[in-house]
Every structure is written in structure tokens, then in C-alpha cells.
Structure 1
């Protein structure tokens, strides 16, 4: 944070600029020049960065409101949705501290508390405002909002293990990709990479919905069951886990590849990499890999693959590594 003493007017001007930049950057016609100007403004003062991050979090909450909360009674033609949301975000900013007393709480539109958690290059354990405990895997991030009718977590990226504080009147909902997991109190794991999601249940029961746009609350899991889904799935794929299941090995800092094809293994590997690894073709994807690896050293796993598998590495035009199968030798005549 900046150590300079600002007047109220100067501070308000920074807050207003942060709100305007947040609105503009979400517009489809925002130009490269404008994005460069924003970056220069953002980097000019730590207070600019702080206020912009706060406005982004307010924006995320506003974006979850129902359409009725975005409407206005004015008879004039309604402004564009982005301006409605900006006005709403500004209103939220003005009453961010007494949210619980705000009428939006009573209507179930606005949360009484909002928290954001992120894990970098080490595992992280956090306790949410409701007492639920969460373990975050490397490179994972989530937000928690407490609404009148539910506790809501959005898994923005990565993986998390939840021990949910029981409250049957206040369900706990985890949103991941296009689907969600709904519980009242239980222990479960949610892994996400791009639009792929895997839910593993340890205790209690959960309802898994692969697409919240579809009617119904989803499919119920019992302990020892797992659900997988990705974008476009009408329903999750349900399977039984076994005693040697390695889904939770990350909590000990391990990635276990149990004789998986490279097609199956790459999403698990790419979750830990800045630049995703790609496969040259389906033949390469059929090659199988196994072993136990340190999640903090996955980059070294990539370079070691040619030593243990019949593959070699290249890079595509974007600079991402590509795994290629070695040409098969022709049979002896």
C-alpha cells in the first residue's frame, strides 16, 4: 500500500477510476491501447492495484445476482447490462461494510461476507467464515460468499478438499465449471482443470449437477463414489472408488499416475504447469505412464518422460511442449 496521505476526494477518485477500469475491461470492444493504459495506471501506485482488486471482487459478487436485481424502475430505455452492473457494483462498494443490514441480504441477492483464498507454490489450509475447513492444492484459488439461503464457494482453478460445517438449513454449494456440488455437511474433494471436473466423496453425501442450466439438483453420491463431468455433459459419470484410489495423494504433495494413458494423465500433469503439454496424435495418447511424483517438481517429470517412455519432445508455434511417439521400427523380414 502507498504510504502517502490522501484526501478523501483523492481516495474517492482512485476508487472511481478502479470501478471505471473494471467496467471497461469487461467490455468486448476494449482495445489493446486501453488495456495498456490500464496496466500503466495499475502499476503506477500500489493503491491503484489494491483498489482495482477490491473492485474486481465486488464485480464477481454483482455478476452472480439474479436479473431482477439488475433492473431499474425508471421509464427510460434500460442502459447496457455493463452499466447496470457498474452502478450496482458502486452501490455495493458504498455499503460493503454493513452488507448484512442491506436489503439485498434479506432478498438473498448479496452476501454478508466475501472471502478470496489462493495457494501459490505450497499447499494452504484455510477456515471459512462458517467454520468449514478447506485445503487448497498448489496453484488453486476459490472465493467464499455467505448468503442468507446458502453458503457459496466458487472454485476458480485447481483443487480443494472440503470439511464442511454441518448446517441443514444453510446448504454449502461449490461451483466448478458449468456444474456444482451441493451439501449440508460432509468431506469431499473437487478437482478442476479447464472444463473438466472430478468430485470424490469421503463422508456424508453430496448432490452433483454437471450443468446448472438443467433442471433438478443433480445426482447423489455416497461415500466411496466419484463423479466426473465436463462442459456439454447432461449428467456426470458416476463410478466407485477403491482402497488404492490416489485422488487425494496431493494432500501429501504427491501425484500418482497409476498406469494411465497419456491422454488420461496430461490433465493431471497440466494442472501444475504454466504452459500445458500437448499430444502430437492419438497414437501418442495411447502410451501408458505410471509412477509417484512430487507435485512441486512436475516440470522435471516432463523432461524425464523421454527417458522412461518411447517418446520425444518438440514445441509448437506457441512454444508449448508437445509429446511425440517414437516411430516404430519396421518388423524384420
Structure 2
């Protein structure tokens, strides 16, 4: 399989188109026909979607920049923008962007580096622009932005192991779910599934908060400690990990379940599945499961579960497999 290589001009054309569509889709006079044209363009090439997402992030950052006080000037009653006006506005923006970017960077509003990474079917090792190294588990997506006062990662989904380049004056922030992990240089793992987040510290120290809307930097973890939080938690739950902890087995391509109830095991299993497993009731969640599994082959685990556990499978209206406990028969007298 060969990888397509685009020329600089072709890449610039895609970036320009992404900027155009970002502007048009946010315009009040954007038509249904334009939206259909955008959908066709967006689906035509993977790089179109990537560049458009990058433009959206820049747009969202710009929405939070301070705006100048409005100046009272006469305005026509019904202003109508023409393509010539858009072209003039684009030209002004092109001249102003370098100064705005420098000012935004110096004030800590805008990043000078943006990276997006994803791993689907294979574990992936990546290097961030600050020199930090990250290993991405299957089905993981994250972005990195470098600001003057901090380095920021957003874990959109999945799991990642971080080896952060030390810089005490430039903290490294990972946003996961509703919480935040703050470090300066260390090695740690962040796992996220739906609204659940788990942080395992291997080396150094981190500060973990379960809700970025709360004041303070959160609770401090030392080596061999773990923090867990989910939606609505006021504080993360802190615990000690031990020598037999298997949270990082995925780095070797494995998922290890140490005799866990299904209610605890399914979040660990489901993030690898095309269709997540569901529980029929609380009694099915109490059934225990153990074993060592290849993370690339967990979809094949579903069909074998009734052979090793006292359960049977059904499907719900969304097509998800549902675990049901086998009926308990009373012993005959």
C-alpha cells in the first residue's frame, strides 16, 4: 500500500478550502446547498476532514480572544456581503495574521504549535513538538497545543502513556473527561472510557483534579499511585498500586483481567470492541471474569463468553450484545 504525497501547493489549497468552509458554515447566510457542497468536500479526502478540524480549533480559540470596544459608525440598514468583500477581508486577514499570531502567542492566548494524532488498529508511538514521547493504545485520539505558559494535551478518547520532557517553567497539562492532570516532567498513563478516567503514575509526580471548573490544582500522586474519577465527582479517588498491577499490560498488547466482576471488566473490554457489551441487570454485573487477552482480538471474545461464563447473549435494539445470567435452578430433593 503506497502513501499519497501532496505537493506544497496542493496542501495549501486544502488549507485554504478548510478556512473558507469554516467561515461559510459559521456565516448566518450559509445556504443548504453550500452545506451539501461542504459535506461532499469533507468526505472527498481524509486530509480535508483533518484540516477542517484544525480550523475549527483555531476558530474556537479565536472566539475567546478579547474583542476591541465597538466604535459607533453609521451602518447600512441591510448589509449584504459580496464575494469581493470576502476576498478583501481574506486579504486583510492574511496581512494581519502574523502580527495577531505573535501577539496571541506572547499573551498566552494562541499556540505556536498544533498536532493531532490518532491510533486505530495498532499501538502507535509519537513525538510531541516539545520533545515528549507518547504511546497511543488502540482507538485513541489526542491533540497537542504548545502555549507560551503551558503545554496542553486533550485526550479525546482512548488511552495513552506519556513520557514528558521536563520543563518546570512550562507545565504539561492533560485534559481528560471533566478533569485535568498537571505535570512538569514524568511518566504516567491516562485511560478514558466514556466519562470514566484513570491515571497511573510510574515516575515523578502529577496533580489530578476531577473537575476543571473547581479551584485548585487537585490531589498529588506519587509513584505507584492511581487516581480515578468520573462525571460529577468532586474529588478523584486515590489508591496505591502494587507489583501485580496490570494496568499497563496494553503496552505489551495485552488486557489482563484479574478475577473482576463484569461491571468493572466491561469498561476495560468495551473500548476495544466495535459494539460494546451491555449488562442485562445487576446480577449479570456480579459475574466474575479473568484471563489474559490480546487487545487486537477482543471482538472475538464475545462469542466465547457463554462457553466460559454462566451467561447467554441477546441483542438490544441498537445491535449491542447483552449479557444475561443463566437461570439458577433449585436443587431437586
Q: TM-score range by the shorter chain?
A: 0.7 to 0.9
Asked if residue 14 in structure 1 is aligned to residue 17 in structure 2, the reply is yes
CA–CA separation in structure 1 for the residues paired with 2:193 and 2:33: 31
CA–CA separation in structure 1 for the residues paired with 2:58 and 2:146: 11
Q: 1:220 corresponds to which residue?
A: 220
Question: 1:330 offset after TM fit, Å?
Answer: 1.9
Structure-2 change in CA distance of 1:121 and 1:327 (3 Å): same
- Aligned structure 1 segments of 4 or more residues deviating by more than 4 angstroms: 1-7, 10-13, 30-37, 93-101
Question: 1:32 offset after TM fit, Å?
Answer: 9.8
CA–CA separation in structure 1 for the residues paired with 2:162 and 2:271: 19
Question: 1:332 offset after TM fit, Å?
Answer: 2.1
CA–CA separation in structure 2 for the residues paired with 1:195 and 1:95: 43
Question: 1:331 offset after TM fit, Å?
Answer: 2.9
Question: 1:14 offset after TM fit, Å?
Answer: 3.0
TM-score by length of 2: 0.83
Q: Spell out, residue by residue over 1:120-168, the C-alpha distance to the aligned partner (whole angstroms, 9 max, x if none).
A: 1011101111111100001111111110000000011100000001000
Q: 2:148 corresponds to which residue?
A: 148
Point out the structure with max Rg over C-alpha.
Answer: 2
Structure-2 change in CA distance of 1:158 and 1:331 (3 Å): same
CA–CA separation in structure 2 for the residues paired with 1:328 and 1:32: 58
Asked if residue 73 in structure 1 is aligned to residue 69 in structure 2, the reply is yes
Q: Secondary structure at the match of 1:142?
A: strand
Structure-2 change in CA distance of 1:5 and 1:178 (3 Å): closer
Q: 2:60 corresponds to which residue?
A: 63
CA RMSD of aligned residues (A): 3.2
Question: 1:223 offset after TM fit, Å?
Answer: 0.3
Question: 1:101 offset after TM fit, Å?
Answer: 5.5
Structure-2 change in CA distance of 1:176 and 1:4 (3 Å): closer
Aligned residues: 310
Q: Secondary structure at the match of 2:238?
A: strand
CA–CA separation in structure 1 for the residues paired with 2:211 and 2:21: 33
Structure-2 change in CA distance of 1:124 and 1:74 (3 Å): same
Q: Secondary structure at the match of 2:284?
A: helix
Q: Secondary structure at the match of 2:297?
A: helix
Question: 1:16 offset after TM fit, Å?
Answer: 4.7
CA–CA separation in structure 2 for the residues paired with 1:34 and 1:318: 32
CA–CA separation in structure 2 for the residues paired with 1:16 and 1:183: 34
CA–CA separation in structure 1 for the residues paired with 2:20 and 2:63: 26
Kindly indicate whether the alpha-carbon contact (under 8 Å) linking 1:164 and 1:186 is maintained by their aligned counterparts in 2.
yes
Asked if residue 310 in structure 1 is aligned to residue 310 in structure 2, the reply is yes
Structure-2 change in CA distance of 1:220 and 1:38 (3 Å): same
Residues 248-327 of structure 1 correspond to what in structure 2 (within 5 A)? 248-327=248-327
Q: 2:78 corresponds to which residue?
A: none
